[in-house]
Amino acid sequence: MSALPSIEMRPFPIRTALVVGGDSEIQARLRQVLEPNVWAIQHTTDNASALALAQRKGFDLILTSEKTSGKEDIELLRKIRRIRPHTRLIILADESTPADVITSMRERAFSYFSKPFSLDALAIMVQHAIEQPCWDDGIDVVSATPEWIRIRARCDMKTAERVLQFFDEIAELPDPEKGEVGMAFREMLTNAIEHGGRLDPSQQVEISYLRARHMVICRISDPGEGFTLDEIPHAAIANPEDDALRHVAYREASGMRPGGFGVLLAQRFVDQLVYSEKGNEVLLIKYLDLAPRAKKEEIKPNNAPG
C-alpha cells in the first residue's frame, strides 16, 4: 500500500491590514514588510468603504490613501477610533497643514506622511507600527498651535521616530534650514531618550517647538540627572584636542553603540545650543534668513568681495 503524499500545511494569517487606495508601489512595499504567512492585506477604494469594513471587523493596521487630504483622513480616524480605539492608522495625505498634523496627533494617529514622501521611510514606520506594543500612549500633546507645540514622548527609539516624522510634517521651514534643524533635533532627542531617559519606556521626555518669524526654537527636557559637556566621555564633544577619537574607545569598553557625535553635529546645524544649569534641558535655536537668495545676489555691488 503506497503512502499518501504529504500535504504542506501553511498557517493562516493571524493579523490583518487594510489599505485604502490602489497605489501599486505602496502595495508592493507593504508586501515586503508584512510577512504573508502572518498578515492578510485587504484593499478598499475609499474612506467610506474603509469605515464600513472597520465597523464589521477589527484591523491591526490601516493605511489611508495618498490621494485624500489630511482632513478627510483625520475624520476617518475619529470615526474608526470610536469603535476600534486601539487601531494603528497611518495617514498618507495628498495635502495637509501643520494644524492637520497636530490634530492627527491628538486623535492618536500612529504616523503621518504627506506628498512627496519616501517609501523607505514609510516602510520603516509600518515596521514600527506592527512591532510596537502599547503604542497609543507614547505621545501626549500638552498644548499645540502650529507655531507653539508642547508634547511628552515615551523614552524609546521607536516613539522617537514617530515624533520626528510628525515634526517633519509640522515644520514649515525653508531649505536648507529644515534639514539642518531636523538633523540637530534628531541627535538631541535620541541623546535625551538614550542617556537621560535610559531607554526606559516608563519615563518621558518633554519637547517644545516654537516657530517665530525669524527663528525656530526646539526645547528638549529629559528625566535624567543631567551632565556638563566636559563630563561625558562617551561623546566626541569631550575629547581632548590631541585625541579626537578618545570617546570611541570609551564606548567600545562600555558596550555602547557606535556614535557619540550628536552634540557636535547639532552645534554645526543650529546657531545656538544652550543647556540648562542641571544639563537635562537643551534649547536648539536656528535663525531663519527669509530673504530670497536670488534677490540678495542681484543687489550685491559689483565691487563687493567674492
* Per-residue pLDDT band at 156 (split at 50, 70, 90): very high
CATH architecture classification, 138-301 = 2-Layer Sandwich (3.30)
Q: Which three cell numbers stand for residue 188?
A: 538631541
- pLDDT > 70 fraction of the chain, expressed in percent and rounded: 77
Whether 31 contacts 55, CB under 8 Å:
no
Residue 250 has a pLDDT of: 45
For residue 21, how many other CB atoms are within 10 A of its CB? Answer: 19
Average pLDDT of span 133-148? 86
Integer-rounded Cα radius of gyration of the chain: 23
Residue 106 has a pLDDT of: 95
Q: Which of 190, 202, 136 is nearest to 164 (CA)?
A: 190
Is the predicted pLDDT of residue 5 greater than 50, yes or no? yes
Residue 283 has a pLDDT of: 97
Average pLDDT of span 141-163? 96
Residue 198 has a pLDDT of: 94
Is the predicted pLDDT of residue 295 greater than 50, yes or no? no
Q: Which has the higher per-residue pLDDT, 265 or 259? A: 265
Residue 34 has a pLDDT of: 94
Q: Which has the higher per-residue pLDDT, 14 or 149? A: 149
Per the DSSP assignment, residues forming a β-bridge with 282 are 220, 275
For the segment 42-86, what is each residue's pLDDT rounded down to a tens digit?
Answer: 999 999 999 999 999 999 999 999 999 999 999 999 999 999 988
* Per-residue pLDDT band at 92 (split at 50, 70, 90): very high
Residue 233 has a pLDDT of: 56
Residue-range domain boundaries for the chain: 11-133, 138-301
Sequence-distant (≥ 6) Cβ neighbours of residue 292 within 8 angstroms:
none
Residue 132 has a pLDDT of: 75
Q: Which of 9, 7, 11 is nearest to 37 (CA)?
A: 11
Is the predicted pLDDT of residue 10 greater than 70, yes or no? no
Domain 11-133, CATH: 3.40.50.2300
Is the predicted pLDDT of residue 8 greater than 70, yes or no? no
Residue 305 has a pLDDT of: 38
